[in-house]
Structure 1
Amino acid sequence: MKNETNPRTVTAYAAERPNAPLARTTVRRRAVGERDIVIDVRFTGICHTDLHQVAEDWGTGTFPMVPGHEIAGVVSEVGPGVTRWQVADRVGVGCFVDSCRTCDNCRAGLQQYCTGEVGTVWTYNSTGRDGLTTYGGYSTELVVDEAYALRIPDALPLDAAAPLLCAGVTVYSPLAHWGAGPGRKVAVIGLGGLGHLAVKLAHALGAEVTVLSQSLRKREDGLRLGADDYRATSDPATFTELAGRFDLILNTVSADLDLTAYLDLLRVDGTLVQLGAPEKPVRVNAGALLSGRRSLSGSQIGGLPETQEMLDFCGEHGIAAEIELVGAEGINEAFRRLAEGDVRYRFVIDASTI
């Protein structure tokens, strides 16, 4: 082990300005601190969030921007005070790399909801407590505090495990929080990057799973992944026949849907959880909530303990993402295809090509 006194330069793919194509460049990682580890990035998932951040859809970004928060790799170096990791350990990093660590949410393992002065430090397009811009996983190496890395079980291939660090925990968290399991009926709106993992996880948890998709185009996939039923929302009969059926509905899409119609599919005390981020404000008819003591909620990724729990669960049940592996030269094409919904079901970058 060793501790460097100077920052390290790594190769990465970055957007130099909003909406610019990503291109090969170099960025400066911080020096390896007392409790830092260096991760040799092997694979990084391409998340829809990456498209939004590069396009500044969610606010002003910091450029050059290196996206990527679904990172799987191997520890290549550890700081002198590191106790959790050794060189060659298989690790992952998700959507954040630091938080205040002292607020009520951080102490509860909900670092994604940090309310401290530091706040949640996102893996990229954020500012660390050292004042430096964070750069994501579209790069060859990552330097991160040991507490914010997660162990990837040996049973999971690193490439297919990468999307679990965001997409996987995004759907696992509400499934766990709202008690998906035997005797519970769960519906998943959309069979995409999030939805296909929601189906796999809900099925493994023992719930009865129904996919609600605009068409039946992916029905065969849905049933193969573990769905018990697959219904087209373009068919009005779907909403009539399934009224009052579900305990939990996960909305994994960002489209502007009539959520009132979906709330009517819930049983008394059922919950619809919004996971996608629609461009327009969500509106519902209050009657759909009042008539069945139903709830409309939201959920954002998961904290460190829950993400590790999810990874361990996936390792035990052989659950990983369905992926299309791309080289660095294919990142921009993958962005284009993802924007058009042309992927089954998650793009992953082979970082060795960076």
Structure 2
Amino acid sequence: MSSKYPEEFQGIGIVDKEDWLHPKRVSFKPKEFTPNSVDIKIECCGCCGSDIHCAKSDWFELPHGQVVGHEIIGHVVKLGPNCSSGLKVGDRVGVGAQVFACLECGRCKEDNEPYCPKFVTTYCQPYEDGYVSQGGYADYIRVHEHFAIPIPEEIPSELAAPLMCGGITAFSPLIRNGAGPNKRVGVVGIGGIGHMCTLFAKALGAEVWAFSRRGNKKEDALKLGADHYVATLEDKDWDTKLFNNFDLVVVCASSLSDIQIDKFVKVMKIGSSIISISAPSFDEKLVLSPMGLMGVKIGNSAIGSVKEIKTMLDLAAEKNIKPWVETIPISEKGVNEAFERMENGDVRYRFTFVDYDKEFK
């Protein structure tokens, strides 16, 4: 069952890596339709920091004409004959930063699809057949049905979009490391992901401490639900004052170069965890004293599983959690505006591209 739509999809892609700030309208062939494929007409898409890193080729050489975007909300327009997830044409669904996994290995069966060896990101990564995935700054996307996730009706599309990557990237380490009542959770970096981490940590019942380098985000952090605020560059003795204080710290800063990890180790309880979700440029290094890690665990977290995304969306609907979002019409001009403003730190705290019907008629 399906509706009519183009055989080639349209998008806003990066056509000149030296001029990545000025993407252009492109067309591209979708991946081959398989029995478990779902086609989605995109309604809106969040603008994630990963989009900037990829557009700039910070992590790898970007393919010509690459369409980025992996915080996608849209409606199902076609289902493969073997789809068994219960989706129907017309359903509103979200797609995050993953569009494929084998679904057969031990990791997949344990709801750890983001760690599957056959993981395919929503854009920029080849499938086994060689097709390079294209993202959500486009009119349609084709994915495996497993990664098309129903969106609760209580959540507006423009607010649901940033939850599909930024939100789950914050939520997964919180629930995997026991954030909840009677737990003290630190959130380092009050930005695109950090502000959602603050919202979710509070919704889970934790006592939340927001960390930023300076005091300029204190008012925002408290409005988001933080119980305390620490400006690490202004309060030189914060690590001494907070010694042995935290059960979990989630590092949401976009860069690790400015994070004083040795100081954060001091404020952790024995057996606690520092989890980073940061994905900076490959030339950055995390520097810390190895002796300081005694009794404290440190690690990295990827995006969350489909099961975790569904849990997160249910919590957001139940608790009326609303990320701070500014909408921008999708277009060459709109993507350029979002990219330039994100480069300049001019966003509080996420962008969602909207008006897809106007751009992709």
TM-score (norm 2): 0.92
Corresponding pairs, count: 348
The answer to whether residue 339 in structure 2 is matched with residue 338 in structure 1 is no
Which residue among 272, 293, 305 is the counterpart of 1:303? 305
Q: Distance in 1 between matches of 2:169 and 2:353?
A: 20
Residues 165-189 of structure 1: per-residue CA shift (max 9 Å, x gap): 1111101111001100000000100
Which residue among 346, 353, 357 is the counterpart of 1:349? 353
Shift of 1:7: 8.0
DSSP 3-state at the match of 1:250: strand
8 A contact 1:248–1:272 mirrored in 2: yes
The answer to whether residue 27 in structure 2 is matched with residue 26 in structure 1 is yes
DSSP 3-state at the match of 1:126: coil
Q: Distance in 1 between matches of 2:82 and 2:176?
A: 35
Correspondences of 1:83-94 after superposition (within 5 Å): 83=84, 84-94=86-96
Q: Distance in 1 between matches of 2:2 and 2:72?
A: 23
The answer to whether residue 318 in structure 2 is matched with residue 316 in structure 1 is yes
Correspondences of 1:32-47 after superposition (within 5 Å): 32-47=33-48
Q: Distance in 2 between matches of 1:317 and 1:197?
A: 13
Alpha-carbon RMSD: 1.7
Q: Distance in 2 between matches of 1:285 and 1:138?
A: 42
Correspondences of 1:83-232 after superposition (within 5 Å): 83=84, 84-115=86-117, 119-232=118-231
- Higher mean C-alpha deviation, range 202-211 or range 99-108: 99-108
Partner of residue 79, structure 1:
80
Which residue among 282, 287, 291 is the counterpart of 2:286? 282
DSSP 3-state at the match of 1:325: strand
8 A contact 2:274–2:298 mirrored in 1: yes
Q: Distance in 1 between matches of 2:221 and 2:3?
A: 49
Q: Distance in 2 between matches of 1:346 and 1:353?
A: 22
DSSP 3-state at the match of 1:29: coil
Aligned partner letter, 2:236: P
Alpha-carbon distance change, 31 to 8 in structure 1, aligned in 2, over 3 angstroms:
farther
TM-score (norm 1): 0.94
DSSP 3-state at the match of 2:34: coil
The answer to whether residue 50 in structure 2 is matched with residue 49 in structure 1 is yes
Residues 100-153 of structure 1: per-residue CA shift (max 9 Å, x gap): 2222211212111112xxx11111001123321110000011111211111111
Structure 2, unpaired ranges of 5+: none
Aligned partner letter, 1:190: G
Residues 188-229 of structure 1: per-residue CA shift (max 9 Å, x gap): 001101100001000000000010111121211111111001
Structure 1, unpaired ranges of 5+: none
Q: Distance in 2 between matches of 1:294 and 1:282?
A: 16
DSSP 3-state at the match of 1:60: coil
Partner of residue 275, structure 2:
273
Aligned partner letter, 2:237: A
- Higher mean C-alpha deviation, range 63-72 or range 12-21: 12-21
DSSP 3-state at the match of 2:237: helix
Identical aligned residues as a percent: 34
Q: Distance in 1 between matches of 2:53 and 2:308?
A: 25
Shift of 1:238: 2.1
Shift of 1:353: 4.1
DSSP 3-state at the match of 2:215: coil
DSSP 3-state at the match of 1:76: strand
Aligned partner letter, 1:52: H
